[in-house]
């Protein structure tokens, strides 16, 4: 594909997003590969990759809403707010049993964490604090408290709570409540922090034991290439599966300005186009596409993402047909 491609991958547990990118370079036959938002090694599910010139589209995919399925464990706190971190505290069994017996409290806590909220990211995150990653500071023994930031929890739907016994901080048996949930949220949300904050609201502490990203904007993990297929068996390159042309992705995300051959050439050269308001209303981001039926190249071509204002177009991001360079 002259303009590169977007690839959806179903990541497995234990791999970093960078690991998946590295393996995809071989399967895709290019060094220029990037991703639109990381997944923790513990997390599974949808990772959106871009290859070649299509990596320019990733900037506009990062901000899409996300959907996750997760399991929250109430009654234990960890340093990482998930099961991979050391347990730092366990709630008394009587308090856990009290919360389980009064499940309206859980519902109320979930309601408080739905909608626009202020959330402090997990201390063990990639956010930089004075030039150093927060997780590096935590591993060095520092006490890191990150500033709260606005996020939106569009949906926080929980299943039936279940109580069980698991090893506590010293290996002793303790009671906890496991809660399956589906979370639909804005970009920048830390689902680990949601588990921590719900536990704090209930006075018992909390962390994640499972996390799976099922959707990024309109893109579902159901359409993703299985991880094993992408990686291969180690002797031959894997199969990337379905590769989505940038124009196909752009059509799903933005309104479209269809270009003729002359307009496509002018826009590719950085010129501003006159746009009749009856042809397209003003908009901050529009996909300018040269239809495949009007060109000698198979398939539509995404010429650029443009702003339309005052009857004129302004290029926000252009998409060359070819691009060279190193790894993203």
Residues marked active site are found at: 40
Q: How far is Cα 304 from Cα 259, in angstroms, rounded to an integer?
A: 11
- Written as six digits, the tokens of 93 are 């069994």
Q: How far is Cα 133 from Cα 139, in angstroms, rounded to an integer?
A: 10
Say if residues 148 and 120 touch (Cβ distance below 8 Å).
Answer: yes
Bridge-partner residues for 115, per DSSP? 153
- Written as six digits, the tokens of 153 are 């929890």
- Written as six digits, the tokens of 145 are 């408290």
Say if residues 222 and 8 touch (Cβ distance below 8 Å).
Answer: no
Cα–Cα distance list, 323 to 34, 53, 272 (Å): 14, 6, 22
Q: At what angle do helices 103-112 and 191-202 cross, to 10 degrees?
A: 130
**Measured CA angle at 241 (ends 239, 244), to 5 deg:** 135
């Amino acid at each position: 594909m002259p303009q590169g491609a977007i690839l959806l991958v179903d990541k497995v547990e234990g791999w970093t997003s960078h690991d998946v990118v590295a393996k995809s370079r071989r399967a895709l036959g290019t060094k220029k590969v990037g991703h639109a938002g990381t997944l923790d090694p513990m997390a599974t599910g949808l990772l959106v990759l871009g290859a070649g010139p299509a990596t320019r589209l990733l900037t506009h995919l990062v901000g899409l809403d996300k959907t996750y399925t997760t399991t929250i464990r109430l009654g234990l706190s960890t340093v990482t707010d998930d099961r991979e971190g050391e347990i730092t505290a366990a709630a008394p069994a009587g308090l856990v049993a009290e919360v389980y017996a009064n499940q309206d409290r859980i519902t109320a806590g979930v309601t408080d964490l739905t909608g626009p909220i202020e959330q402090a990211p997990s201390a063990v995150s990639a956010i930089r604090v004075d030039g150093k990653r927060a997780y590096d500071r935590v591993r060095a023994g520092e006490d890191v408290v990150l500033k709260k930031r606005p996020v939106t929890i569009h949906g926080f739907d929980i299943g039936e709570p279940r109580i069980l016994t698991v090893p506590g901080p010293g290996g002793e048996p303790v009671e906890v409540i496991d809660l399956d949930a589906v979370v639909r949220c804005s970009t920048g949300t830390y689902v680990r922090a949601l588990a921590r904050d719900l536990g704090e609201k209930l006075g018992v502490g909390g962390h994640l034991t499972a996390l799976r990203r099922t959707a990024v904007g309109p893109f579902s993990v159901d359409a993703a290439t299985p991880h094993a297929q992408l990686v291969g068996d180690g002797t031959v390159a894997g199969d990337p599966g379905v590769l989505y042309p940038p124009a196909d992705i752009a059509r799903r995300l933005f309104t479209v300005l269809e270009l003729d051959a002359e307009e496509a050439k002018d826009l590719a050269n950085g010129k501003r186009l006159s746009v009749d308001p009856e042809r397209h209303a003003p908009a901050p981001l529009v996909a300018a596409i040269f239809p495949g039926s009007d060109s000698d190249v198979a398939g539509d071509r995404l010429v650029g993402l443009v702003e339309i204002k005052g009857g004129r177009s302004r290029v926000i991001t252009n998409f060359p047909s070819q691009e060279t360079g190193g790894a993203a």
